[in-house]
Chains A and B, each alone.
Chain A
Amino acid sequence: MVSIQTEKKENYADSTLIITAENVVAGYEDRIIWRDANFVVGRGQFVAVIGPNGAGKTTLFRLLLGLQHPISGNLTIFSNRPTRGNPKIGYVPQKHGIDEETNVECLELVRLAISGKQWGFNRSRGNDRKIALETLQAVGAADLAHRPLSDLSGGELQRIFLAEALVSNPDVLLLDEPLSSLDLRRSRELVQLINGIVRSRGVTAFLVAHDINPLLPFLDNVIYLANGKVATGTPEEVLTSECLSILYGVHVEVIKDSKGNVAIIGSGTEKDSDFVFGNRCVSCNEDEKK
């Protein structure tokens, strides 16, 4: 079992403890995706969820959203088992149905995130509009309110999705690969924006990413999923040669540059199995290997 756990449950007062995982095993009836997840996450923490494709990062989100249940172990969020439709969770999925044909203005999508659950007539339209506009302002997208979704760039769309998730004023944000289609500068801007929200509102944010470097200056914790196992802790604890070697099951070297960026270099026993983690990601190379 790989578990770097310095933050114990006892370190938190009940009111600041948001999520606890004890020996959680995730997967489907016929296939385990990862096992032995043990971690606690407190209020207002910024947590990166890192790992190769197929390691089960989205599965972790599905568990927290109550869309899927652990095979075994104890997972709690706000001291309860996760249930679907928890209004305290804001979610930005990896895939959206929105494309270059979706000629619907951004404000409409954010408003629907408030009132979309409501059947029949909406009695608080004016108020919804006000909240939606305020949320767009908070993510620096006030000028996009009346632009159609189909017109937006990747970075602008992610701001809108962030507003869509934030509009219900959640305590937890689950962001599935928001940086995947962004260049380095836009990635950095979005991460700074998310960090600002985490710090100013005391929101706990989980962010799935392939490259941890844009996130490193802001992170409180890392959940590293690989090889069916889970390592958790602060970036300093998890991003070490020892920890990642145990996690991957092969020797892994973690190298830091002068600015604190990390590169993870592994050398397995097979030929061509060298992989670099950093500007290039583990998963790309893992895929090539297969």
Chain B
Amino acid sequence: MNMILPYELLEIFQYQFMQHAFEAGTIVAIVAGIVGYFVVLRRSSFAAHALSHIGFAGAAGAVLFGVSPVFGLLLFTGAGGAGIAILGPKAANRDVQIGTVLAVMLGIGVLFISLYTGYATEAYSILFGEILGISLSDVLLTLAVAAVILVAIAFVYRPLLFASLDEDVAEAKGMPILGIGIIFMLLVAVATSIAVQVVGVLLIFALMVTPAAIAQRVTKKPSRGIIVSVAVALFATWLGLIISFYEPYPVSFFITSIVFILYLLVRFAYPRIRPTKTAQIQPDMH
């Protein structure tokens, strides 16, 4: 790759498809970073994983019936998310329920794909994302959906945080655990549906789980954690898009690689530079 000078970066934005990619990518990174923080805190990454695959079935169905994949995604992930939350009311130990719902939905997805007689590129773009092919209407829909998610999170923020940390106490305090669980899964479902455009069904973890996992390693305050999670998702998305403009490889590959490298750095290099426990305790001992 040749050196890219800063002013040359502006060249990227002369292309409308790159503008749309940046707009959608930015919105999705913010939403995925926030929702992802709760996914990691609640140990619900398998649920998020399952929802993205359930979304695949929905998107395949939408393509089959000739409507935009995002509607199929929203319908299937929403139904799947609510189903998982109702079948396994407690966040922990619901792997079996998730697996059950996941299997049947994937089966339906396979059926839809086999019934669809068009080009395989549709399925390919659902699986791996197609951010460079995003239209203005897609961007506007993404923006509208993201606004709904952000308002919903502002509303449920503290009950969701508390129920995620200490579900039994929250239940005893009379908080609606099942309702919070359903709202959370719906938020994941909707976030997944819009994130699929950027990284695809198979790679959704790159935006939904890894940035949040990084954030939870570097900060112990939830509010800061969410900010770090969003920052990592944004950084990876932007950098991935810039590189992909100059290199003929998929954006998804660059985004997933960037977050993975950051994760490795935080996992293995960060503990060495972070203030140690003993250093924190010592002042009290004197």
- Mark A residues whose CB is within 8 Å of B: 65, 67, 83-87, 89, 91-93, 95-98, 101-105, 108-109, 112-113, 115-122, 143, 146-148, 151, 164-165
User: From residue B214, how far is it (CB to closest CB) to chain A in Å?
Assistant: 11
With an 8 A cutoff between CB atoms, is B155 at the interface? yes
Cβ–Cβ < 8 Å partners of B1 in chain A: none
Q: In terms of DSSP, what is the predominant structure of the interface of chain A?
A: loop
Contact of A116 among B91, B154, B173 (CB under 8 A): B173
User: From residue A77, how far is it (CB to closest CB) to chain B in Å?
Assistant: 13
Cβ–Cβ < 8 Å partners of B91 in chain A: 97
Cβ–Cβ < 8 Å partners of A164 in chain B: 166, 169
Cβ–Cβ < 8 Å partners of A92 in chain B: 169
**A165 CA to B43 CA in the complex, in Å?**
24
User: In the complex, are the beta carbons of B217 and A115 less than 8 A apart?
Assistant: no
With an 8 A cutoff between CB atoms, is B92 at the interface? yes
**A117 CA to B221 CA in the complex, in Å?**
19
- Which of B17-25, B60-68, B117-125, B157-165 is the contact stretch? B157-165
User: In the complex, are the beta carbons of A116 and B159 less than 8 A apart?
Assistant: yes
- Mark B residues whose CB is within 8 Å of A: 41, 43, 91-92, 154-156, 158-159, 161-175, 216-217, 219-222, 277, 280, 284
The 4 closest A-B pairs by CB, nearest first: A85-B174, A116-B162, A93-B168, A112-B162
**A120 CA to B156 CA in the complex, in Å?**
6
29 contacts between A and B (CB under 8 A): A85-B174, A86-B174, A87-B173, A89-B172, A91-B168, A93-B172, A98-B165, A103-B217, A104-B41, A105-B221, A108-B220, A108-B221, A112-B158, A112-B161, A112-B162, A113-B162, A115-B158, A116-B159, A116-B163, A116-B175, A117-B158, A117-B159, A117-B175, A118-B158, A118-B159, A120-B154, A122-B158, A143-B284, A164-B166
User: In the complex, are the beta carbons of B172 and A97 less than 8 A apart?
Assistant: no
User: From residue B43, how far is it (CB to closest CB) to chain A in Å?
Assistant: 8
**A268 CA to B192 CA in the complex, in Å?**
60
Q: In this complex, what residue of A is CB-closest to B168?
A: A93
User: In the complex, are the beta carbons of B158 and A105 less than 8 A apart?
Assistant: no
Which among B92, B155, B170 has the greatest number of chain A C-beta atoms within 10 A?
Answer: B170
- Given the known interface contacts A96-B166, A143-B284, the answer about A91 and B172 at a Cβ–Cβ threshold of 8 Å is yes
Cβ–Cβ < 8 Å partners of A83 in chain B: 174
Contact of A104 among B155, B159, B165, B168 (CB under 8 A): B165
Contact of B169 among A104, A113, A120 (CB under 8 A): A113
Cβ–Cβ < 8 Å partners of B165 in chain A: 97-98, 102, 104, 109, 112
**A89 CA to B158 CA in the complex, in Å?**
20
User: From residue A172, how far is it (CB to closest CB) to chain B in Å?
Assistant: 12
**A151 CA to B41 CA in the complex, in Å?**
16
Q: In this complex, what residue of A is CB-closest to B223?
A: A108
User: From residue B148, how far is it (CB to closest CB) to chain A in Å?
Assistant: 16
User: In the complex, are the beta carbons of B222 and A67 less than 8 A apart?
Assistant: no
- Given the known interface contacts A85-B173, A147-B280, the answer about A104 and B222 at a Cβ–Cβ threshold of 8 Å is yes
**A95 CA to B92 CA in the complex, in Å?**
11
User: In the complex, are the beta carbons of A84 and B162 less than 8 A apart?
Assistant: no
Cβ–Cβ < 8 Å partners of B158 in chain A: 112, 115-119, 122
User: From residue A104, how far is it (CB to closest CB) to chain B in Å?
Assistant: 6
Cβ–Cβ < 8 Å partners of B41 in chain A: 102, 104
Contact of A119 among B156, B163, B172, B221 (CB under 8 A): B156
Cβ–Cβ < 8 Å partners of B92 in chain A: 97
Cβ–Cβ < 8 Å partners of A165 in chain B: 169
- Given the known interface contacts A65-B172, A103-B216, A105-B220, the answer about A116 and B155 at a Cβ–Cβ threshold of 8 Å is no
User: In the complex, are the beta carbons of A84 and B156 less than 8 A apart?
Assistant: no
**A119 CA to B277 CA in the complex, in Å?**
35
**A105 CA to B216 CA in the complex, in Å?**
11
User: In the complex, are the beta carbons of A67 and B154 less than 8 A apart?
Assistant: no
**A98 CA to B159 CA in the complex, in Å?**
16
Extra contacts, 19 of them, besides A84-B172, A87-B173, A97-B168 (Cβ < 8 A), are A67-B172, A84-B171, A91-B168, A91-B172, A92-B169, A93-B168, A96-B166, A97-B43, A97-B91, A104-B41, A104-B220, A108-B221, A112-B162, A116-B161, A116-B162, A117-B159, A117-B175, A119-B159, A146-B220
User: From residue A162, how far is it (CB to closest CB) to chain B in Å?
Assistant: 12
User: In the complex, are the beta carbons of B168 and A95 less than 8 A apart?
Assistant: yes
Q: In this complex, what residue of B is CB-closest to A164?
A: B169
Cβ–Cβ < 8 Å partners of A122 in chain B: 158
Cβ–Cβ < 8 Å partners of A147 in chain B: 280
**A165 CA to B168 CA in the complex, in Å?**
12
Cβ–Cβ < 8 Å partners of A119 in chain B: 155-156, 158-159
Q: In this complex, what residue of B is CB-closest to A112?
A: B162
User: From residue A3, how far is it (CB to closest CB) to chain B in Å?
Assistant: 28
User: In the complex, are the beta carbons of B174 and A93 less than 8 A apart?
Assistant: no
User: From residue A206, how far is it (CB to closest CB) to chain B in Å?
Assistant: 13
- Given the known interface contacts A91-B172, A119-B159, the answer about A109 and B166 at a Cβ–Cβ threshold of 8 Å is yes
